[in-house]
Structure 1
């Protein structure tokens, strides 16, 4: 029995993280990124303190809709302000805050299962 999912070649896979960046589907990134199954975008924030509803606009606009957005907070998970979490949920997006490493691993797993997942990642 094959335990590894067959991931289509056009999907964005997080190959590595650390040393201030990411390698996603073979491309090196050195800034915060938004990773969707079909594309990776530079995420124009300086750090997790800049997380806001407007900063997540690309995730709200994604088609098909994202069902879960993993927030990679950096080296440590932080709690997202309840008011901000409520605003994001009102726009139809469920978020889960994790440390960046856990967010990368969880994204790959869920994306490999075909889930409509995305990751907003701060480098470590």
Structure 2
């Protein structure tokens, strides 16, 4: 019986400020992650939406599972600000979550400030090069 490498879903179980971003990933809690992140009260998760240019409510299933713990969602849309699709905005509003799309850099900075203020914040951060 051959033993192979077990690949687990990326997850950091806790809250941590984002220390750096760029080069296709992020640094936090003395670790680095390549790819996008979904930062929730339950921890920091690796996150790869099917199409970063067309986000859907299903891309946020983990967020909706924690909806009662989140008031503000910062959506780092990459290098440029893009509006959230109407269906996604409606689903977030129905869950009681205020969503603010912005560039990923602005989302990281704002997340760190709100985290330091102990606010009920989450972030969906699309990686940038």
Taking structure 1 as the reference length, what is the TM-score of the superposition? Answer: 0.84
Deviations 1:45-84 (A, max 9, x none): 1442241111111111127511001000000110112332
The secondary structure found in structure 2 opposite 1:59 is: helix
What is the CA distance between 1:37 and its match in structure 2? 4.4
Cα gap change, 1:13 to 1:43, in 2 (>3 Å): same
Which residue in the other structure is 2:90 paired with? 86
Alignment: residue pair count: 115
Measured against aligned partners, the alpha-carbon deviations of 1:25-48 in whole angstroms (never above 9, x if no partner) come to 221111111112451001131442
Change in CA separation of 1:57 and 1:74 when aligned onto 2, cut-off 3 Å: same
Matched, 1:29 2:33: yes
> Once the 2 structures are TM-superposed, how far is the Cα of residue 105 of structure 1 from its aligned partner?
0.3
Matched residue of 1:84: which SS? Answer: helix
- Structure 2: state its 5+ residue gaps: 1-13
Q: 5+ residue gaps in structure 1?
A: 1-9
1:16 aligned partner: 20
Give the whole-Å Cα distance in 1 for the aligned partners of 2:54 and 2:30.
Answer: 27
Map residues 1-124 of structure 1 onto 2, 5 A cutoff.
Answer: 11-62=15-66, 65-124=69-128
- Structure 1 or 2, whichever has the larger Rg, is 2
Of residues 58-67 and 14-23 in structure 1, the stretch that sits farther from structure 2 once superposed is 58-67
